[in-house]
Copies of this chain bind each other. A is one copy, B any other.
Amino acid sequence: MGRTTGAGPVREALAALPLVDHHCHGVVTAELDRPGLESLLTEGEAWPGSGVSPFDSPVGVAVRRHCAPVLDLPRHAPADAYAARRAELGAAEVNRRFLAASGTRVFCVDTGYAPQPLTTPAELAAAAGGDATAHEVVRLEGVAEAVAARGVEPGEYGAVVAEAARQAVRRPGVVAVKSVAAYRTGFALDPARPSAAEVTRAAAGWLGRGGSRLDDPVLVRHLLWTAVDLGLPLQLHSGFGDADLRLHQADPALLTDWLRLTAGTIPVMLLHCWPYHRQAAHLAAVFERVYLDVGLALHHVGPARARAVLAEALEITPFRKLLHSSDAYGVAEFHHLGAVAFRQGLAAILGELVDADELSQADALRIARWTGRDNARRVYGLDGLPDLPH
């Protein structure tokens, strides 16, 4: 029996699997020069004049290795050549190439973060070609901030936000809501549902301070409970993010009390999670409706290292609880790179287990289909399709 007896079919199956990317963003529609491209490659900022280029990082190396060939460049093409070729092809063509190459057939798009003009979900799906479809994820902080911007009395804030959220999720194609509570207050919050009086008092304070960036702990908590009322899956940013984050406050274990209080209600999707993916896995193992992914981390560490991160995430995670997301934002390279990292990383893990006879090939193939596609279809009820046979 050759060493690749098991790994081969698993790798092929994962390479061919139509993926569901259950959390991503649109891509910028503007043309990007090298500085513009670099600013989108990092969770930090581009630091002009610092001598540190975002290309000189694991994700930069991964882009030059895995994305350059999609633009007809040799592997490891220099950053300047890469940026030049990108400009030459134009954003539309670049986006089409990467989104098609990703093999993603369903995109769940968080539309609540757009400091730059981005593709709509429909545009993203169209750029991916074929039968690709897109669904929308509504960011709850954005709903509340829009309510504040339109003007609202503190005493009506709770009801108006709840109604605005209900309206938002009634829009066609909406499959989930999202909260960035991790950024705004962190997860070490009072788990209880705030009373109407508390919400009014907090709204008075926040609106009085201008009501722009929702960072009041009572109102953030109110949004988490609003999500419970809406009944849709709730995506929660966890762990890895940009300089706006206090990483240790985004450890999802801090949410335990809230998860206990809300057990049996909505699915809770822990996004990213790194470096707290083991903590997230523990929550997914002990709470029925908790799920996780290691999106964002996978393309930042790159396909070569994705296996190690996925292996940690999968140590105790029930196979029905891990999903694929890219969390790509801005550049379609990341929709592609996230998919490559997921496919290759998972194939390496499962293939090695099959080769060592620690896992049957049938089980490996099932785990691949579940995590890459069916778990998301099941949680979000995508297309109304039943689960595939397993």
Cα-based distance from A65 to B278 in the complex (angstroms): 24
- Distance from A345 Cβ to chain B, minimum over Cβ atoms (Å): 12
Q: Is the pair B363, A61 in contact by a Cβ cutoff of 8 Å?
A: yes
Q: Is the pair B243, A253 in contact by a Cβ cutoff of 8 Å?
A: no
Taking the complex as formed, is A43 at the interface, i.e. its CB lies under 8 A from any CB of chain B?
yes
- A242 (CB) vs chain B CBs: closest residue: B286
Cα-based distance from A57 to B254 in the complex (angstroms): 24
- A 235-261 to B, binary, CB cutoff 8 A, 1 in contact else 0: 000001011011110010110110010
Taking the complex as formed, is A51 at the interface, i.e. its CB lies under 8 A from any CB of chain B?
yes
Q: Is the pair B59, A316 in contact by a Cβ cutoff of 8 Å?
A: yes
Taking the complex as formed, is A201 at the interface, i.e. its CB lies under 8 A from any CB of chain B?
no
Out of B58, B275, B316, which one reaches A278, CB within 8 Å? B275
Q: Is the pair B287, A44 in contact by a Cβ cutoff of 8 Å?
A: yes
- A 20-50 to B, binary, CB cutoff 8 A, 1 in contact else 0: 0000000000000000000000111101001
- A 309-320 to B, binary, CB cutoff 8 A, 1 in contact else 0: 101101111111
- Contact residues in B for A282 (Cβ distance below 8 Å): 240, 247, 275
Q: Is the pair A318, B247 in contact by a Cβ cutoff of 8 Å?
A: no
- Contact residues in B for A287 (Cβ distance below 8 Å): 44, 243
Taking the complex as formed, is A378 at the interface, i.e. its CB lies under 8 A from any CB of chain B?
yes
- Contact residues in B for A387 (Cβ distance below 8 Å): 51
Q: Is the pair B253, A353 in contact by a Cβ cutoff of 8 Å?
A: no
- A 192-208 to B, binary, CB cutoff 8 A, 1 in contact else 0: 00000000000000000
Interface centre among A43, A51, A278, A318 (most CB of B within 10 A): A318
Counting every copy of the chain, the complex holds: 3
- Distance from A285 Cβ to chain B, minimum over Cβ atoms (Å): 5
Q: How many residues of A contact B (CB 8 A)?
A: 69
Taking the complex as formed, is A356 at the interface, i.e. its CB lies under 8 A from any CB of chain B?
yes
Q: Is the pair B305, A315 in contact by a Cβ cutoff of 8 Å?
A: yes
Segment at the B interface, from A8-16, A210-218, A296-304: A296-304
Within 8 A of B (CB), among A122-157: none
Q: Is the pair A359, B65 in contact by a Cβ cutoff of 8 Å?
A: yes
- Distance from A273 Cβ to chain B, minimum over Cβ atoms (Å): 12
Within 8 A of B (CB), among A55-70: 56-59, 61-62, 65
Cα-based distance from A50 to B320 in the complex (angstroms): 10
- Contact residues in B for A247 (Cβ distance below 8 Å): 253, 256, 279, 282-283
- Contact residues in B for A316 (Cβ distance below 8 Å): 43, 57-59, 240, 297, 300-301
Given contacts A51-B387, A246-B253, 8 further A-B contacts (CB under 8 A): A42-B285, A44-B285, A52-B318, A58-B317, A242-B286, A304-B359, A305-B311, A308-B315
| 9 contacting pairs across A/B (C-beta < 8 A) | A47-B288, A51-B320, A245-B256, A245-B286, A248-B251, A275-B279, A297-B315, A297-B316, A308-B315
Q: Chain A: residues with CB nearer than 8 A to chain B?
A: 42-45, 47, 50-52, 54, 56-59, 61-62, 65, 75-76, 240, 242-243, 245-248, 251, 253-254, 256-257, 260, 274-275, 278-279, 282-283, 285-288, 297, 300-305, 308-309, 311-312, 314-321, 353, 356-360, 363, 378, 387
